[in-house]
Amino acid sequence: MPASVVISLRSTLLMVTTLLSIGAFLLMLGLLVVVHEIGHFVCAIWMGIKVEEFGIGYPPRALVMFERGGVKYTLNWLPLGGFVRFANSDEGQDSLYGAGGSLAAATPWRKILVMVAGPLMNLLLAMVILSVIFMIQGVPTPSGGQYIGDVYATTPAAIAGFQKGDELIRLDGQEMTDSALVPKTAQASQGRTLDAVVLRDGKEIMLKVTPGPWSAPDGTRYNLGFGFSYSQKTVHKPVSPIAAAGRGVSDSIALTSQMLRSLSSLPASIMGIFSPSSPAASQPIGPVGIARATGEVIQQPGGLLAFWNLTAILSLNLFLLNLLPIPALDGSHIIFSIVEWIRGGKKVPPEKEALVHALGFAALMALMLLITVNDVINAIQGTPVLGN
């Protein structure tokens, strides 16, 4: 086949893949945003708070799709968000979510419910998605040993001859049926050499490894370990819809707990953008990074389910992020409403609250710009978002 034809086919394939990635990303983003805003919208109506507009995307407005019950349902030109616009009864003009109007005139507990409803819808969406995934492919159940992921250079595992793709079956005579046994065995060894049995290309291979100190790519130092990443080998076991739903709920709660615990490392992750030695997988990502991650997962085997799994994880991220007391996000509005409640209905002066939100929004945009620039640099360098 002529080289020009090969180049043309590759270019076409790249274009198709890029378009699929962008389309999948916009579908994901649209779903997450619409579900979130539906939470605010439905709760506001339930609380008797007047809503004037339900917008998909950010202004300027592209078109009014329809109008019902005094509410305009609109499409807007910037497709990276959405909003609920409440009537501003204080000043006689419109305002975007949280900036005043009949929402500001509501009692604090009503406002809190409206603000919490959006994030809760993201939590519910994640639970539903994971439940459906478990209904389709079954529940992952431990089976066998530990899959070896990356084997880091100059570590005890690399010296011993471990390879990516090995299945660690036995270590120091113990069956490795639980991931927790790997670090426990390393600590119990007190630095003595251990026998390890791995399954490689269908054959059992005996290795000898001496646990010792090593450093992970993210800079974490381990005093006694091996130097490889690993995960439990699992099979997907069919379960009833009720059991699948239960697992979807429990996994959503467990993942949210993990995200909450990892918040302490967020400042270090942001600072990692400035460090050339920081791995891309440990750095925060923005819309460009999420779009690239979407493209990566849909190209994997079982890409459709992987796409929805990523959607569920991002929905949980939105649930948690929006509840943090960050100015301009739901959590900040909740804090102001709690303060108002504690003060017996006495509000924080609107101009001061607006200033806090404006400064917070500016800081968020600056951070998003920094993250986006980093995402673009990683894209140009061809660095995978989700790792190799």
Q: Is residue 45 part of a domain?
A: no
The per-residue pLDDT for 277 is 56
Contact 89, 101 (CB under 8 A): yes
78-106: pLDDT as tens digits: 776 788 888 764 443 333 333 334 677 78
Asked if 246 and 340 sit in the same domain, the reply is yes
Look at residue 145 and tell me if it is in a domain.
Answer: yes
Q: Does residue 54 lie in a domain region?
A: yes
- Number of domains within the chain: 3
Residue 119: inside a domain: yes
Let me know whether 179 and 312 are in one domain: no
Average pLDDT over residues 137-166: 90
Does residue 192 share a domain with residue 68? no
Helix (H, G, I), strand (E, B) or coil at 232: strand
User: Which residues on neighbouring strands pair with residue 51, listed in sequence order?
Assistant: 86
**Domain match, 88 and 149 both:** no
Are residues 72 and 13 both part of a single domain? no
Task: Judge whether residue 350 has pLDDT over 90.
Answer: no
Mean pLDDT, rounded, for 301-309: 85
In a domain, 41, yes or no: no
pLDDT score at 77: 86
Task: Report the pLDDT value the prediction gives residue 375, as an integer from 0 to 100.
Answer: 76
Same domain, 296 and 385: yes
Mean pLDDT within 336-347? 86
Are 387 and 323 members of one domain?
Answer: yes
Least confident interval from 61-70, 103-112, 241-250, 306-315: 103-112
Bond from prior residue into 60 cis (ω within 30 degrees of 0) = yes
Domain range for 351 is 1-34+107-138+239-388
Q: Which of 214, 237, 260 is the last residue of a domain?
A: 237
| Domain end position, chosen among 218, 237, 256 | 237
CB 84 within 8 A of CB 99: no
The answer to whether 157 and 228 are in contact (CB under 8 A) is yes
Q: Locate all alpha helices (DSSP H) within 76-216, ordered by sequence.
A: 102-105, 108-137, 156-160, 181-189
Amino acid, res. 84: V
Say what angle helices 330-342 and 303-323 make with each other, to 10 degrees: 30
